[in-house]
Amino acid sequence: MSSSIKRIGVLTGGGDCPGINAVIRAITKAAIYKHGVRVIGIEDGFLGLVENRIGELTSLHVAGIMTQGGTILGTNNRCNPSRFCTGTDAQGKPVFTDVTDRCLRHIEANKLDALIVIGGDGTMTCTAPLVDAGINCIGVPKTIDNDVEGTDVTFGFLTAVATATDALDRLHSTAMSHHRVMVCEVMGRNAGWIALHAGIASGSDVILIPEIAYRIETICRFVEGRMHRSRGFSIVACAEGARAVGGRQVVAQIDPTKPEPVKLGGVGQQLASEIEKLTGIESRTTVLGYIQRSGTPTAADRVLATQLGYRAMELLMTGAKGRMVVVRDGRLGDIELKRVVGRQRLVSTQDPLISAARAVRTCFGD
């Protein structure tokens, strides 16, 4: 075991998701009770590190938090120390500055021997300069989108799928009663894992994901065919990043101050309008939005989060540096943290789940 580790910092970056608190709890309790290591919580992701908003975590701080959604430390998906927005220029355009040196000073001032960073690909990208500067960082993959490179699953994903599935299940009754097409827009910018899993679990008739461009004519023919049967309705599970062949993703907002300036949204409404216009079938839209990221984590996510948090602590204490905990083929492992930077785990068009869905006559719009 590594005896040089006496104080560690923990931060949660990016969007909130179910299971973060279970990770914080596992790290903190394993550090204190097994290794005698002090844990320092960093507030609001990297923003807290830039502004030196830091405080010690004890076992009392993490007692009873496993069932809570969100993160007791707070999080931030705007702050990238390498590209920190310090204001605007005379033309109103954002001004960015590299404040990595501030982070390094605060790490030294608080005598942190290592950092455990909990987040997705954006958080790992923000962490890479600290690794290059010699800070020992261990990553824990977190995102409901399940799109972090190198791991088969991220905590938060299973809860998001359960939430989306429940919503899709509930839409069946109103769709059937009114003989409508119900389009449910779920999260998934570039990766369609939520739409794929929730769509299959709910028995959705159409599943649209970013990895497979759709043709509106194909979707319309499919739902028209269903209207002539006794059921007379259709459920469409649609990722926010889905797009038509030759088209672009639907953009809801652009915020140049954020690391990911483009906010997607609106494809569900666009689809419903096009389907109704082309077929005459009454169509409605439901956008799940942030409820997918909130709420109590499922039992499976609590177990996974506890395993990942504990594994991260063990990696630190055995001398590992610059690694990220992963799950591969059902086993815990780890990879180089910097391998995640600039990459996303997308759904393969040859994924067995897609083959299974097609076999039960699910339409992907292609």
Are 283 and 191 in the same domain? yes
| Residue 3: predicted pLDDT | 65
Q: Is residue 349 part of a domain?
A: no
Locate 2 and state its tokens. 């590594």
Angstrom CA distances, 152 to 81, 148, 149, stand at 28, 8, 8
Amino acid identity at 46: F
Q: Is residue 242 part of a domain?
A: yes
Starting at the earlier edge strand, list the strands of the sheet with 234-239: 206-208, 234-239, 181-186, 283-287
Q: Is residue 1 part of a domain?
A: no
Locate 323 and state its tokens. 């690694």
Are 179 and 131 in the same domain? no
Amino acid identity at 244: A
- Predicted model pTM: 0.93
For residue 346, the SS3 value is coil
| Residue 227: predicted pLDDT | 85
Which residue among 294, 323, 358 closes a domain?
Answer: 294
How many domains does the chain contain in total?
A: 2
Whole-number CA gyration radius for the chain: 22
Q: Is residue 39 part of a domain?
A: yes
Are 15 and 142 in the same domain? yes
User: Would you list the DSSP string of 226-280?
Assistant: HHTSSS--EEEEEETT--BTT--PPEEEE-TTSSS-EEE--HHHHHHHHHHHHH-
Are 251 and 166 in the same domain? yes
Are 119 and 77 in the same domain? yes
Supply φ then ψ for residue 325, to 5 degrees.
-70, 140
Pure H helices in the chain? 20-29, 35, 46-51, 59-62, 100-109, 121-132, 157-178, 193-202, 216-227, 267-279, 299-317, 352-359
| Residue 212: predicted pLDDT | 97
What is the CATH classification number for the domain harbouring 208?
3.40.50.460
Are 151 and 191 in the same domain? no
Q: Is residue 351 part of a domain?
A: no
Pairing of strands 38-42, 283-287: unpaired
Q: Is residue 345 part of a domain?
A: no
Are 129 and 214 in the same domain? no
Q: Which mean pLDDT values do the consecutive 10-residue runs of the chain (366 residues) have?
A: 83 93 97 96 96 95 94 91 87 89 96 96 92 95 94 96 96 90 95 97 97 96 85 92 92 77 86 94 93 93 97 94 94 94 93 96 95
| Residue 54: predicted pLDDT | 96
| Residue 92: predicted pLDDT | 81
Are 252 and 179 in the same domain? yes
For residues 40 and 57, is the Cβ–Cβ distance under 8 A?
Answer: yes
Give the residue from 20, 41, 119, 22 showing the smallest Cα distance to 76. 119
Q: Is residue 268 part of a domain?
A: yes
Are 118 and 217 in the same domain? no
Are 91 and 147 in the same domain? yes
| Residue 2: predicted pLDDT | 52
Are 167 and 275 in the same domain? yes
Active site residues: 145
DSSP one-letter code for 333 = E
Q: Is residue 357 part of a domain?
A: no
Are 151 and 168 in the same domain? no
Amino acid identity at 249: Q
DSSP one-letter code for 347 = P
Instruction: Give me the domain span that covers residue 87.
Output: 7-155+297-340
What is the CATH classification number for the domain harbouring 331?
3.40.50.450
